[in-house]
Every structure is written in C-alpha cells, then in structure tokens.
Amino acid sequence: MVNETFHGRVSDALRSQRVETPSWAYANSGTRFKVFPQQGVPRDPFEKIADAAVVHRLTGIAPTVALHIPWDRVDDFAALSAYAKEQGINLGAINSNVFQDDDYRLGSVTNPDPVVRRKATDHLLECVDIMDATGSRDLKLWFSDGTNYPGQDDIRARQDRLAEALQEVYARLGTDQRMLLEYKLFEPAFYTTDVPDWGTAYAHCLELGPKAQVVIDTGHHAPGTNIEFIVAFLLRQNKLGAFDFNSRFYADDDLMVGAADPFQLFRIMYEIVRGDALSPEAGIAFMLDQCHNIEARIPAIIRSVLNVQEATAKALLVDREALGRAQEEGDVLAANAVIMDAFNTDVRPMLADFRAGQGLDPDPIAAYHRSGYFDKIRAERAGGIQAGWGA
Ligand code: PSV
Ligand code: MN
C-alpha cells in the first residue's frame, strides 16, 4: 500500500524537489576555538563549485550552489557561472556579508555612522550587480547588527536605518530578482538584535513589497520554538522565500540538517507539502546553511541533502484525507496517529528504488566513496591556500 502510494503521487512530487548547497560548507570552518583543516579542501570558488556538482550528480536534487560575497569573489562572475553550467549546475542565491569588516563593530546598515551605513548598503547593491552577472534570482541578507548593552544605541532609530537601507536595495532589484531577509535571535549581538525574529523580518518585507521575502534559518530560534507554525503562517501570507537548513542542539550550531531533530524537519516539510510549496514553481528556495567542522564535508553534504529528501518523502506519505477526517471529527488521537504513521515509515528502501529508477546509485554516499573523487582532490589540491571564512 505504502509502496503504491510512493510510486505514484509521492515520487512525482519528489522528482521536482530541489535543495541548494552553500559554497562555504565545502570550505574549512570551525568554531572560535579551532578550525581543523581537512585534505582536499577547495582553494577557490571554482573548486567549491566542482564539489557542489559532485553532490548534484550523486543525489540528483542539488542543482544549484549559493555563493557568499566576498568569500566567493572572482574577477569574472559570468565566467564562474559558465563554469558551473559546464559542471552541470547553476549558481544560486548571493549571500551578502556585512559582518566581517572592522567598520562594522557597531553595526552595518544600522550603524550610527552614516559613512559605515553607506559602505554596507553599497555592498548590498554590489551583490545585486553580481546577481545580474550570475543570473541569480535571490539576494540573501543577514545582518549581525545589534547592541550589547542597554543604552548603547537607539533601538527605534536602528529600525529606521534598517528600513532605509532595505528600501534602497529593494529599489535596485530587477524584475525577476528577490530580496530574502534572514532573522536570527542573537549572536554576535547579545542585548538587542535588529532583525531578531520572523515577525520583524515579516514586517520589513511587508513594507518593502512582493519581492521581499523571509528566510527561515532553522538554527536561529529560541529553544522550543515551533518552526512549523512559522512556516505555515508565512506560506499563508506568501512571505516565505527560503530556508537555511541546519540542525541545532543549543544555538546556531550549523550541524547537518535532520541530524538533531528529524521529527522537526518532517513537521516543517509537512507544512510545505500542506501549503503546496515543494515544487520550484512555488518559489521557495530550500538551501542548506551548514558548517562541517569535524566530519568529512562532501559526504556530510550528501547526507544532509538525503535527510531533506527523506523528511520530504515522509511528509508526502501523510494520509491527508484521513487526517482531515480525524481533525473534523475532533479525534485527537486518530489525527496524531496519521502523522506518526507517516513519520515512522522507513522510506529508505523506497528512496533507493526511486534513485535507481532515475539512473542514480541507490546509495549516493557509498557511490561517493567508490568514485575516487576524494583521492583525486586530495592529490590535486595539495598546495595553495585552502578556502575558509574570509577566503
Ligand atoms: C548567520 O548565522 C548565517 O546563518 C547567515 O545565513 C550567513 O550568511 C551564514 O550564516 C554564513 O555565515
Ligand atoms: Mn543562515
């Protein structure tokens, strides 16, 4: 029964699924205590793209890679885009970075100094120029802006400055381009953060217009936050633009999506399915935003993509008719059982068949290990400077 459902409706929906991987996940990363370098790490954006293409070839569902500027700055972005195409993928969202310069000690677009604000806004505008060259649809904005001490700056004035910068960048967007505003509860600012939650991001996006949408980074909430509620709410308002998927135990841990709480990922994907938002036409970018500090990176990214796919398959298996009936009848236990039945289904054998049916290896991680790709990059990338934050 499950198999029949799977091979029809579920596999049709899964065929349209897309997950975007982040260029920075292929590079060295770590904590403020230590970065453990690995072998075979990309030394430039081209090598990151080559790795991302391998993930796509093996999983079949990761055809785009997000860039981070300036980490992925090159002289010729059109050439980078052409290289990606040669490798079988496309460039995805452009992530701005207004958090690493000395000038940003007191903030970027909300800084009390208009000179710093100008510099930050100019960087965001430059990111739109880059989008024009790469053909990217999405500009992803995350601001580390905030304050550490009561009285340090005027909370309300900072909102005005933020709105002003966002307006200017919004006005620069092309017809098919979008602005994705990401929120984060805290860190690096600890007293106030200027975009701390989905409500703040939503209000700014609403004021800006239809090309401004909210990004949900799953690691950016207080413990216990019901993220699927946020998904349902924003979808209903047409204001959900993207996800930055990752897992957290404590704060912004950036661990592999679906590792810490696969049930939460399933509940999120159920709201996506419920909101008819899985296919690319719905316009939601399903991106990963992860750092692989101790685990081998390429297999970890493959694992993450597969975790999203597994959670999605389970979400698609929810018997929505039975669920609707139970909900209408107020049968709490029956409704919950429908959800749990889907979550507790082992979809791995079905997904293996699904991949085989598409000419892919049923086990992408085993296929990666067999491919010899790691030996190749370990040898080829022996010299030079490995990419990391700031590279
Ligand atoms: C900030 O914590 C964040 O989630 C933003 O998406 C950044 O662009 C990304 O991490 C990489 O640092
Ligand atoms: Mn993020």
Q: What is the pLDDT of residue 250?
A: 96
Kindly give the distance from the C-alpha atom of residue 254 to the centroid of ligand 2, in angstroms, as a whole number: 9
Q: What is the pLDDT of residue 6?
A: 65
Kindly give the distance from the C-alpha atom of residue 361 to the centroid of ligand 1, in angstroms, as a whole number: 32
Proximal ligand: closest to the CA of 195: 1
In terms of residues, how long is the chain?
391
Proximal ligand: closest to the CA of 24: 1
- Burial string for 127-154 (b: 16+ CB within 10 Å, else e) reads bbebbebbebbbbbbbbbbbbeeeeebe
Residue-wise pLDDT for 312-347, tens only, equals: 999 999 999 999 999 999 999 999 999 999 999 999
Residue 245 corresponds to which tokens in the numbers above? Answer: 């998927």
Q: What is the pLDDT of residue 388?
A: 86
Kindly give the distance from the C-alpha atom of residue 28 to the centroid of ligand 1, in angstroms, as a whole number: 15
- Burial string for 85-98 (b: 16+ CB within 10 Å, else e) reads eebebbbbbbbbbb
Q: What is the pLDDT of residue 390?
A: 63
**Ranges under pLDDT 50 in the chain:** 391
Spatial contact of 180 and 139, defined as CB atoms under 8 Å apart: yes
- Burial string for 161-170 (b: 16+ CB within 10 Å, else e) reads bbbebbbebb
Sign of CA dihedral 83, 86, 87, 90: positive
Nearest CA to ligand 1 atom 2: 252
- From the CA of 215, give the closest atom in ligand 1: 6
Q: How far apart are CA 46 and CA 23, in angstroms?
A: 10
Nearest CA to ligand 1 atom 1: 142
Q: What is the pLDDT of residue 389?
A: 73
DSSP state at residue 104: G
Bridge partners of residue 181, in order along the sequence: 141, 214
Nearest CA to ligand 1 atom 5: 142
Q: What is the pLDDT of residue 8?
A: 85
Within 10 angstroms of residue 285's Cβ, the number of other Cβ atoms is: 24
User: Coil, strand or helix: which one is 388?
Assistant: coil
Q: Considering just the CA atoms, what is the radius of gyration of the chain in Å?
A: 21
Spatial contact of 227 and 266, defined as CB atoms under 8 Å apart: no
Kindly give the distance from the C-alpha atom of residue 244 to the centroid of ligand 2, in angstroms, as a whole number: 5
Residue of 24, 71, 72, 95 to test ligand 1 pocket, by largest number of atoms within 8 Å of CB: 95
Residue of 289, 290, 293, 389 to test ligand 1 pocket, by largest number of atoms within 8 Å of CB: 289
Sign of CA dihedral 302, 303, 308, 314: positive
- From the CA of 187, give the closest atom in ligand 1: 2
Proximal ligand: closest to the CA of 217: 2
Nearest CA to ligand 1 atom 11: 289
Proximal ligand: closest to the CA of 216: 2
Sign of CA dihedral 268, 273, 279, 283: negative
Q: How far apart are CA 133 and CA 207, in angstroms?
A: 28
Kindly give the distance from the C-alpha atom of residue 5 to the centroid of ligand 2, in angstroms, as a whole number: 34
Tell the CATH topology of 18-296. Answer: TIM Barrel (3.20.20)
Proximal ligand: closest to the CA of 22: 1
Q: Which residues line ligand 1 (CB under 6 A)?
A: 95, 142, 182, 184, 217, 244, 252, 289
Kindly give the distance from the C-alpha atom of residue 350 to the centroid of ligand 2, in angstroms, as a whole number: 31
Residue-wise pLDDT for 210-248, tens only, equals: 999 999 999 999 999 999 999 999 999 999 999 999 999
